[in-house]
Structure 1
Amino acid sequence: MTQENYYINGIYHELRNEHFQTEQSYTEAVKQNPDSLPARFSLAIFLAKMGKYEQARKELEIVLKQDNSISDGHYYMGVVALNLNNPVLAQKEFSVIENIPKYASISPYMQGLLCTKRKDYKKALEYFEKSISVDHKATASLEAKAIAHRKLGNKSHAFEAGRILLENDSINYIMFSEKYFLTRKNSDKSALKHLLRDDPELYVELAIKYAALNLYTEAIDVLSMYMQDWQISGSYPLVYYYAGYYYGKLSEYNKSLNMYYKASKCSTDYVFPNRLESFNVLKDALNKTQSDANAYYYLGNLYFSKVWLESAVDNWQQSIKLNPSFVLAYRNIALAYWKVNKDTKTAIKYYELALKCTSKTDFRLYYELDILYEQCAMTKKRKMLFESVPEQILKTRTDLIQRQAGFFTDTGKYEEAISLLLNNRFAMPERVSITKTIYNKAYMNLGKRYLAKKNYKKALECFNDMLKYPKNLGVGRKSITDDAQAWEMIAQTYRKMKKNSLAHKAEQMAARKSDLKGFDWLKIDKSGYILKNGVMETLFYS
């Protein structure tokens, strides 16, 4: 594959959020042509998005060394420097692009952000005003301006900045919280909570905005609104983790530990850390409480989502050491080895370990392990796996029943497969017909078995059943069907029965129902026309 193809593939995978393939493609493009600025710059930006700031910095240095006029390069170098806690470099890079129209509003905002971090609110205001003068609807600058005025004690100016912003954005979270911080009225607090709708992710997002300005007290106040209304057992752990991190920033060590302890007691269900800020939060939690298996699990998930495969697996393994019955951690390691490393042997090992845990009610363990067993031709293990599936799981998961029907078909138990398929109702995604494929395969092989035994009546019944579309299979008859194989077998059966006229009609149906693939008497030329014996013809479907 050429360097250009790798680069284009990287763009394609990035648009589809296929992170592992994206990094691999961009890296290979740069490897093949180190002087390719588009490929190297795309790799640098992608690395920054994945939280790989040090690697991104190195790539950006090479880009800017080759062409120092790339304004986007300076902007991203500033962002990377900010995340590497290098404010001097960040200030330098943002100031370079200050007079470039594209960054005329963003650059002063980022410089104001740096001033806010060192509590120089007066200087920060100057930058925010400059940003707003370029773009009067610059939301981030208007929010920061209101906050800076409040910190300077300019309440009237803070209210005015909030009023202007709410005219354009009537549900701006920052302005609702700023109004509460200015008045401390319960009515304003209630208005903010009503806006956040008991969604913990919204509370975390709002807290992060304050933390970005080093306003950790306000960040904790926001998170506390959520924590006051929920018991730990039904709460969202990331709220506590972030609160613990922010308490640590305020040097309140005991409160930080208390929050981390509460986070460790929350359920892990439906918790998927995805923000880059969560790296520092979870790492800090583990520095203070090394016994939190859940924190290792969350950090592993976060690493995996950002293409840090080895770090992800290491954290999941640490989680298992602390909690040997943590089924999800076993499954995640198995998926990483299977889907990314293509190491089916190790993947099978971890799935089997997961199934040895006391809690093995997750149907996906059986479903995914059966796929691996099938790929590795482990027929005996497939049989043992289905025999071990708890009855309550098998009864409620038709996708697992589908796998079992496929197993029966693969092992010659066609009647059992057909019975499973006809006695259960399947819900298949649009354009997916795997259940019908298994159904057809079972009837095809059963019909061939009858045909070999010269039981032509039963064989015809099986091949005719292939032409049916039972409603319970979740797929309807297509406008253009692919029933050619069934008609071919019907024709063969009639030939065996010496019923040549019926065989001929069946052969005609096979030709008409063909999907135009794999039939010797039908060919398609490059223009797409159908050729029969070298003469162009039209094929009609009925």
Structure 2
Amino acid sequence: MEKTERNYFTFFALFILISINSLFAQVRMTEESWTLPTYKVMPSEKAPMFFTNGNFQGAQRVIYPYATNDEISGERTMQDWKALILENEYIKLGITPEIGGKLYYATDKTNDYNYIYKNNEVKPGNIGMTGAWVSGGIEWCVLHHHRASTFLPMDYDLVKNKDGSKTIFIGETEPRHRMRWNVGITVSPGKSYFEAEVSIYNPTPYTHNFLYWANVAAHTNNTYQTIFPPSVEFVTFHQKNQFTRWPISNDIYRGQDFTKGVDISRWKNVKEHASFFAHDLKEDFMGGYDHGKNSGTVHIGDHNIVKGAKLWEWGSGKVGQNTEGKLTETSGPYVEIMVGAFSDNQPDYTWIRPYEVKKWKQYWYPVKDIEGFKNANLNAAVNLEQRENNTIFLGYHSTQKVKNARITLKNGNQVVLEKDILISPEKAFTEKIKINSEYKFTNLYTELKDLDTDFVIISYKPKDPKNTKNLPPVVTPPAAPEDITSVEELFIVGNRMEQFYKTANGGETPYYKEALKRDPNHTKTNIAIGNKLLKNGDYTTARTYFSRAIKRQTNNYTRPSNGEGLYLQGITLKKLGLYEEAIDTLYRATWDNAYFSAAFFELAQISSINKNYKKGLKEINEAISSNTKNTRLYGLKSAIQRKLGNYNSALETLQQVSNIDPLNFRIQNELYLTAKETNKEQEAAILLASLNKKMRNFDQNYIELAVEYLNDGMLKESEDVLKRYKGKNPISIYYLGYIQDKLKNKDAAKKLFSEAQSLSEEGIFPYRLETIEVLKKAIKYNPNDGKAYYYLGNILYDKQPKKAILHWENAVKNAPKLAMAHRNIGFGYYRHYKDYPKAILSYEKAITLDNTDAVFYNELDVLYELNNSPLEKRLAIFEGNNKYVKNRDDAFVRQMQVLTLAGQADKVVTYLKDKTFSYREGTSRVRENIIDAQLSLGIKFYKAKNYKKALEHFLLAQVPDEAAGRAKFGNREIQVNYFIGLAYEALSNTIEAKIFYTLSTKVESVKNKKQRSGFMSYYEGLSFLKLGNKAKANEIFNSLVTNGDKQLNFNSDENSYFQIFGEKDSENTKKSLAYTMRGLGYKGLNKKKQAKEDLKKATEISVSNLWAGLELE
């Protein structure tokens, strides 16, 4: 090769190398399609699911207006998913907007380590608030834990920033509270961290309570360790009802025995599922480290705001690993190293005021080669550890390249190590240093400094542990309202119940009522009750409560220091259309700075409704002057400026906020309207196309934006938005009819209302209070519109149940074949009035009209059980309908229970063979069914002296915990092993019989001992009798009698305060169980008369008490 050619080749190769390096130094942002193995989620439930007083993650489980999506098939398909990719030279992120906006994975490109868990399959479990939930990645638990939309498509946008960074925004308007949130995920050139800026907007006039946690998953194994800062001395459980030390626990914690001193930061040492919340976090970091892979994950966030750090794990034992196997095929186990903002526990809700915005930033980055970390910030992580023979391990990992760095290690004033290095995310610094003199570890100090700027990048100095003697005090359940001495304390307890969405003791209402019983004009309580009524749309009643509070506050011509009552009363008067009174009251509220902005916004809205735009502009400017963050205010201001023809001013207003929140559709729509009205047709077309893409033809996005314009009195803008929706939603058509009525176009209104009525009501769950007026207007046009009444009932049930039931009754008068309305009436009479016979009639009518909805069967059989209806009647409703019933696990389980109770356990066994259940956190109903069916069949054969067949079924009842979840009443193995022993004994196999009797008496785990409050210990007593230990057996039987007595006189509300999942058992169920315990105790003691009486009472109280019935025979 000639010299000139060689030089040209060298130059070309160098050019390519520089170009590639430059390319990788940039941030790449793309929208792609992934094809992943996916387990199909069945279509969402068409029945509206109203509040049942149940719990989810320790707070109220409110589903409506969402649809439940809790039935997951076993069908595996290959499905395409939209993927949003962000990457630079160090990290790569994948985000799935169709799976709740989850950050699906994050990879360290320098070593191919997934520092945020990547699930190779979409294999949902029934763990979210509405059902389907996928493990792995980062789930943004906004407003509520495992939020309702965790498996639903989200709004998103891709943004290029001036500094070369790129941001993907994910967000939604959440229908339950109508608050907006978004997360802006940013990757910058040359940095190995990504930033997540979280924004929660309250665009409503109400105070709400919310919870936020980033649910971060990390791959785990026997070498994995969760890292909280060294200052963390204690961890606690949900609701702070138990504490233990960290990282070495010496306690029995949630039933797990760590009394020998166990390092619970190590995944392998915690065998069962557990939550550990760091108590009183003082530093800005936490994370985890895989010591086997010498790689880990660091989270950074201001601990004054990002106050929560939590470890959740399924456990390294069989149960946990079996559960994790239900959530992935190939990706392996995970831990959740969660972080919470404005919260340090779950549930631990905080308040967000009217039109308030809360924003904060969090960061995550990978670390490697440094064997853990003792301190971390956004720039670097450092590890300093003592090793054998006076050796120190020192490691540093940086999040960007520092070409001229110096590492220093000191022992007191003595420099032990000083080394100048280049450090980067690709190459960490690690060294083992021998200290030749004696030293104290806490005298050491190390730092990493950038010599070019003299900036200390990070430092660390060990501290002596505090060794606090006592564990922190636990949260205790509140006393009953009548036992609380002061009115103030009653209000405080009620307010906490409301803040944390507690259901125990009836929630906040009994405490508020007791406070007003003692002091009818108590200001704070009247305001609290009025606020609830206001949010529930009961404006007239709310006005009464606010009036009482204001009367006391303003006595003797006093100007109150707290304007909340005046502000809320102003809102109430505005909702009632009493604008003059509202204006007067709201202006008085502006005297309190806390409500200055919110009140002026409401005043600006009234001015806009009255088309007094000049006055409105002054008022909205006042609102913005003390609240510059909330984009809702700018949306109204720009619209008013546009109405006044001040287009340049409108554009300036919009440009202030359009980049802050690119998913704010009002701002984007105002940009489009401003361009359109100034004849910039091409620009307007581009803006509209961009907006339509962001709104993704999601009906609720269009309705919400249209309603926002309606609330501002802007009918044409509202109509324009609704007409853009390319679909058929009856509610949007009702709104169009309402707008035409407002515009005095009566014929057009009538036609639209008629069209809305003709559309299917299936899966339509309206929720906005504004819709009430719209539907009432439709009914004025057509009093026979049964669907309008049906929708009214749906909106109101969780808010004003009596009114809702009346609307549903009007629905069936006008549309008698509306099966769902009949079901809803039944639900209302069941849940609100506790009128079980009347509720049953409505459910039975619903099934005659539509026998395909499995929800009807489940809810009706619950009612039959509560009503203690005959088994024959319960059997009849399921007869011939299994093909529909099996579509929902809960309905199918009810059918299996009824069949078992009716002596048809053989059918249960047959049905169960072909059934795939969705995994559901916090329940064990499947396992109970299998065990009950097999034992019932076995007993039937045993009584017929077919001992061999009996043994077969008893053996099949050996369903381990890990196969289907823990049993509700404790250690069913006690019972199963006893019956296996009994069958072996009958077959004259005394050796095997003794083995199983002995197994029945071996209760190994503390958790099982705790669960012996049920009646399983009866079979343990019988096993002791078989083994010849009558004294031990009698001790157990006497304990059953004593515990049964206690349960009959026990106030279960005390325990329900800390309930995490589900509903409380009914009083009949609890009483029946108590009689069963006592009856079995008497039976074991051979007190036949007392045993028969108690067991008979147990079955009379509840025909669903299988074991009382079987033991009575």
Q: Which residue of 2 aligns with 1:250?
A: 743
The correspondence for 2:923, drawn from 432, 450, 456, is: 432
**2:998 is equivalent to residue 508 of structure 1:** yes
Answering whether residue 734 of structure 2 is matched by residue 241 of structure 1, we say: yes
Change (3 A) 1:137 1:468: closer
Cα displacement (A) at 1:412: 1.3
Which aligned pairs between 1:175-186 and structure 2 lie closer than 5 A? 175-184=667-676, 185=681, 186=685
Structure 1 counterpart of 2:519, from 27, 31, 34: 34
Unaligned runs of 5+ in 1: 526-542
- Structure 1 partner of 2:534: 48
Q: Distance in 2 between matches of 1:99 and 1:397?
A: 55
Aligned to 2:427: none
Matched, 1:305 2:790: no
1:371 is matched with 862
- Which moved further from structure 2: 209-218 or 457-466? 457-466
Whole-Å separation in 2 of the counterparts to 1:421 and 1:111: 62
Q: Distance in 1 between matches of 2:971 and 2:872?
A: 36
The alignment partner of 2:903 has SS state of: coil
What SS does the aligned partner of 2:577 have? coil
Taking a change above 3 Å as real, the CA distance of residues 19 and 48 of structure 1, as seen in their structure-2 partners, is farther
Partner of 1:490: 980
Asked if the contact 2:948/2:987 (under 8 Å) is kept, the reply is no
Which structure has more RCO (C-alpha within 8 Å, separation ≥ 6)? Answer: 2
1:197-236 map, 5 Å: 197-226=696-725, 229-230=726-727, 235-236=728-729
Cα distance per residue 1:133-183 (max 9 Å; x no partner) = 223324222222211111111111111111112132223212222222223
- Cα distance in structure 2, aligned partners of 1:427 and 1:83: 44
- By percentage of residues, which structure has more strand? 2
Residue-by-residue CA offset, 1:240-276 (whole Å, 9 max, x unaligned): 1111112212222122112211211222122111111
Q: Does the CA contact (< 8 Å) of 2:878 and 2:895 recur in 1? A: yes
Which residue of structure 2 aligns with residue 12 of structure 1? 497
Post-superposition shift, 1:117? 2.1
What are the equivalent positions in structure 2 for 1:455-494 lying under 5 Å apart? Answer: 455-469=946-960, 475=965, 482-494=972-984
1:65 maps to what in 2? 551
Q: Residues 100 and 273 (structure 1 numbering): CA distance in 2 closer, same or farther, change over 3 Å? A: same
Letter in 1 for 2:838: T
1:382 alignment counterpart: 874
Report the Cα distance in structure 2 between the residues aligned to 1:510 and 1:19, rounded to whole angstroms.
36
**Structure 1 letter corresponding to 2:733:** Y
- Give yes or no for contact 1:444–1:462 (8 Å, CA) kept in 2: yes
Residue 633 of structure 2 aligns to which amino acid in structure 1? S
Q: Confirm or deny that 1:164 pairs with 2:643.
A: no
- The one-letter code matched in structure 2 to 1:2 is P
Letter in 1 for 2:481: T
Q: Which runs of 5+ in 2 are unaligned?
A: 1-479, 555-559, 1022-1031, 1044-1113
Q: State the match for 1:196 in structure 2.
A: 695
Determine if contact 2:875/2:899 at 8 Å carries over to the other structure: no
Deviates more, 1:118-127 or 1:455-464: 455-464
CA contact (8 A) 1:490 1:503 kept: yes
Whether the aligned pair in 1 keeps the contact of 2:658 and 2:668 (CA below 8 Å) is no
**Mean alpha-carbon deviation: is it higher for 183-192 or for 488-497?**
488-497
Aligned-partner Cα distance in 2 for 1:26–1:477? 35
Supply the AA of the counterpart residue of 2:786.
A
Name the CA distance, whole Å, in 2 between partners of 1:398 and 1:348.
21
Cα distance in 1 for partners of 2:826, 2:640 equals 49
1:24-82, CA deviations, whole angstroms, 9 ceiling, x for partnerless residues? 53663355333444433221110000000110110111112223423211111111111
CA contact (8 A) 1:463 1:486 kept: yes
Secondary structure of the equivalent of 2:519?
Answer: coil
| TM superposition score normalised by structure 1 | 0.86
* Structure 1 counterpart SS, 2:820: helix
RMSD of the TM alignment (CA)?
A: 3.0
One-letter identity of the residue aligned with 1:33: R
The DSSP-based 3-state class of the residue aligned with 1:64 is helix
Q: Distance in 1 between matches of 2:744 and 2:519?
A: 46
Q: How far apart in 2 are the matches of 1:140 and 1:468?
A: 56
CA contact (8 A) 2:923 2:966 kept: no
Cα distance change on mapping 1:371 and 1:504 into 2, 3 Å: same
Q: Aligned residue for 1:2?
A: 481
Aligned to 1:123: 615
| Structure 2 CA distance for aligned equivalents of residues 18 and 211 of structure 1 | 35
Q: What is the rounded CA distance, in whole Å, between the counterparts of 2:619 and 2:925 in structure 1? A: 60
Bigger shift: 18-27 or 81-90? Answer: 18-27
The TM-score normalised by the length of structure 2 is 0.43
Calculate percent identity across the aligned residue pairs: 26
Q: Which residue of 2 aligns with 1:90?
A: 582
Residue of structure 1 equivalent to 2:828: 336
Moved more, 296-305 or 124-133: 124-133
Q: Distance in 1 between matches of 2:802 and 2:863?
A: 22
- Which of 294, 311, 314 pairs up with 2:787? 294
452-461 vs 328-337, greater mean Cα deviation:
452-461
Report the Cα offset of residue 278 of structure 1.
0.9
Larger helix fraction of residues: 1
Greater Cα shift, 128-137 or 39-48 = 128-137
CA distance in 1 between partners of 2:527 and 2:911 (Å): 54
Amino acid in the other structure paired with 2:745? E
Question: Which residue of 1 is the match for residue 605 of structure 2?
Answer: 113
